[in-house]
A = this chain, B = another copy of it.
Amino acid sequence: MAGTDDNITQQQSAAKPQKQPKQPKQPKPQQSGGGKKKEVKKETGLGLTNKKAENFGEWYSEVVVNGEMIEYYDISGCYILRPWSMAIWEIMQAFFDPEIKKMKIKNCYFPLFVSNTVLEKEKDHIEGFAPEVAWVTKSGESDLEIPIAIRPTSETVMYPYYSKWIRGHRDLPLKLNQWCNVVRWEFSNPTPFIRSREFLWQEGHTAFATKEEADTEVLEILELYRRIYEEYLAVPVVKGKKSELEKFAGGLYTTSVEAFIPNTGRGIQGATSHCLGQNFAKMFEINYENEKGEKAMVWQNSWAYSTRTIGVMVMVHGDDKGLVLPPKVASVQVIVIPVPYKDADTQGIFDACTATVNMLLEAGIRAESDARDNYSPGWKYSQWEMKGVPLRIEIGPKDLANKQVRAVRRDSGAKIDIGNDDLVVEIKKLLDNIQQNLFDVAKHKRDACIQIIHTWDEFVAALNEKKMILAPWCDEEEVEKDVKARTKGETGAAKTLCSPFDQPELPEGTVCFASGKPAKKWSYWGKSY
């Protein structure tokens, strides 16, 4: 490894060298193997050097590394997803994939590569992606005659074949999805999960005979995305429609779930469900013969969520002790830690830990015990807090005597003694409670950031206070451009996040905060990731 980090960061031509977070402190193993003399120190020393409230960016980089979700990779903007984060991805997939299969969407796999000719077919679309496209130009020592692009998304990869497969109305709807990696060679501020050059996602691509069917599916998928955020990741989101300026390049309209990071005062697009209209169908000639024997054009959607979900969850729930994982996505929901004292029945305590884990596993709870003999209980507490395990169970001599365990919540730190007889029921209740509490707390914080404004002065003030701003807007593209220009600063300009589906009342005569023209709708505004 020696030297590779530096080498490659320098090799990235146009890339800003990426901030490498400090190496996580290696756990300091205690002396072991000394038999009787085994000494258990109450060392901790696992803490984060940055605080969430003071140094958010550094805190985030540190917590994803120390929590063992991410390892920084020697190519800037690429990250290693370690098992601790991969398991979360898999749990979300285990929810989403069966849900879309119920909707008769089928999985497939299209190639990673796309030829220039095809990529450039839809002009608006390629303009949106062109600067970020990675190009393969060589194989082995030979130059390819024509460079081949790596997919930044697969509309242009797939739709020539939709054109081939769709002939008659009976071929519709065509509903495909793929789980894959995509590459967007961005240079601005790479951040693990949130903005990386390669990421994992699912991308759904569907074609319908009617706009109504397409519209319906857009919202069905968006609801699944809301459930991923709110039910799994315990992150509150706003469902809404993107502005013309912020919609998907080449599409008709874009809906999204928008999350908010109170610490930075930034909105973040959580996942998007696009209605592409007939624009791609026109470019790729996706026509069919309808029931009347006439030539017609399909209506298309595309929709995706990515590993960004995990980053949003970390940003929302993490604290100065480390990650905080919602029970529904934690690969370890309960960590059981033996707390032996000098003269205690050590074997009895270890046996009780094993029995507890087995009881929980049988009940479908993801539990593990940490029986390592070279770390103190205190050190273990810190490590599992860093990794964000929702519930810790401690078993010491007193617990053994009282036929109970001590449960400690990661979210609140609350300690609860539970009798062995009630264990499974109580632990289940606690996990449900933690899941709900994480959502409630996050929603409370998010809601406290929402500020309704009516004037430009109020807008600027709220922006400086890192608010998620709800403002009456005339819905004109030029006005959004103007707001962007007027708020341009070091930390990025303000823009629309979305126009929420859940619209407050808009009294007659309300004017746009930015243009003074009659307001057409309420929109969320703010800086964003």
Chain A contact residues, CB within 8 Å of chain B:
1-2, 4, 7-8, 11-14, 26, 29, 33, 71, 73-75, 78-83, 86-87, 89-90, 106-115, 117-118, 130-148, 150, 160-161, 163-165, 167-168, 170, 176, 180-181, 183, 185, 197-198, 200, 284-285, 291, 372, 374
Contact call A136/B139, Cβ cutoff below 8 A: no
> Are A75 and B148 in touch, CB under 8 angstroms?
yes
A115 and B160 within 8 A (CB): no
Please, how many angstroms separate the alpha-carbon atoms of A38 and B177 in the complex?
36
CB distance from A168 to the nearest CB of B (A): 6
Which residues from chain B contact A131 at a C-beta distance below 8 Å? 139-141
- A160 with B74: CB separation less than 8 A: yes
CB distance from A178 to the nearest CB of B (A): 8
A285 to B170, CA, bound (A): 60
From the candidates B26, B83, B198, B372, name the one contacting A176 in the complex (CB within 8 A).
B83
Contact (Cβ within 8 A) B160 A110:
no
Which residues on B sit within 8 Å (CB–CB) of A142? 13-14
What is the distance, in angstroms, from A527's C-beta to the closest C-beta of chain B? 25
Complex Cα gap A75–B80 (Å): 29
Give bound CA distance, A14 to B83, whole Å: 40
A109's partner among B4, B136, B200 (CB-CB below 8 A) is: B200
**Does A160 contact B4, Cβ atoms closer than 8 Å?**
yes
Given contacts A12-B145, A106-B86, contact A135 B136 (CB under 8 A): yes
- Determine whether the beta carbon of B138 is less than 8 Å from that of A109: no
Question: Max chain B CB contacts within 10 Å: which of A86, A197, A284, A285?
Answer: A86
Q: Which of B108, B139, B145, B160 contacts A132 (CB 8 A)?
A: B139
If A4-B160, A284-B1 touch, whether A74 touches B115 (CB-CB below 8 Å) is yes
> How far is the CB of A374 from the nearest CB of chain B, in Å?
7
Is B111 a contact of A136 with CB atoms below 8 Å?
Answer: no
B contact residues around A78 at 8 Å (CB) = 111-113
Q: Which of B74, B108, B374 is in CB contact (< 8 Å) with A118?
A: B74
Smallest CB separation, A117 vs chain B (Å): 6
Residues of B within 8 A of A11 (CB): 115, 144-146
Question: A170 contacts which chain B residues (CB < 8 A)?
Answer: 29, 372, 374
Interface centre among A78, A112, A150 (most CB of B within 10 A): A112
Besides the known contacts A4-B118, A13-B142, A86-B106, 15 further A-B residue pairs in the complex with CB atoms under 8 A apart: A1-B161, A8-B146, A12-B145, A14-B144, A26-B167, A33-B291, A71-B164, A71-B165, A73-B111, A80-B111, A112-B181, A131-B139, A131-B140, A132-B140, A134-B139
Q: From A184, which residue of chain B is reached at the shortest CB distance?
A: B139
Chain B hits for A167, CB < 8 A:
26
List 6 A-B pairs, minimum CB-CB distance, nearest first. A139-B185, A13-B145, A83-B106, A78-B111, A11-B146, A131-B140
A65 to chain B, nearest CB (A): 11
A83 / chain B contacts, CB cutoff of 8 Å: 106-108, 176
How distant is the Cα of A11 from the Cα of B115 in the complex, in angstroms?
9
Docked Cα-Cα span, A11 to B144, in Å, equals 8
A138 and B138 CA atoms in complex are apart in Å by 11
Assembled-state Cα–Cα distance A130/B141 (Å): 8
Question: Using Cβ atoms and an 8 Å threshold, which residues of chain B touch A110?
Answer: 73, 80-81
A167 to B23, CA, bound (A): 14
A137 to B132, CA, bound (A): 13
Known contacts A140-B130, A144-B13, A145-B12; A7 and B117 CB within 8 A of each other? yes
A113 lies within 8 A of B181 (CB): no
Considering the chains assembled together, what is the distance between the CA atoms of A162 and B107 in angstroms?
A: 33
B285 near A1 (CB under 8 angstroms)? yes
B14 & A161 in contact (Cβ 8 Å cutoff) = no
Whether A147 contacts B141 by the Cβ 8 Å rule is no
Instruction: Return chain B residues, CB-CB under 8 Å to A130.
Output: 140
Residue on B nearest A285 in the bound complex, by CB: B1
| A75 and B111 form a contact (CB under 8 A) | yes
**How many Å from the CB of A436 to the closest CB on chain B?**
29
Q: Give min CB distance, A176 to chain B, whole Å.
A: 7
What's the least CB distance linking A156 to chain B, in Å? 11
Contacts of A137 in B (CB 8 A): 135-138
Say how far A40's CB is from chain B's closest CB, in angstroms: 16
A161 to B71 alpha-carbon distance, docked (Å): 8
B115 x A75 contact (CB < 8 A)? yes
A-B contact pairs, 6 of them (CB 8 A): A7-B115, A8-B146, A80-B108, A83-B106, A90-B107, A140-B185
Which residue of chain B has the shortest Cβ distance to A71 in the bound complex? B161
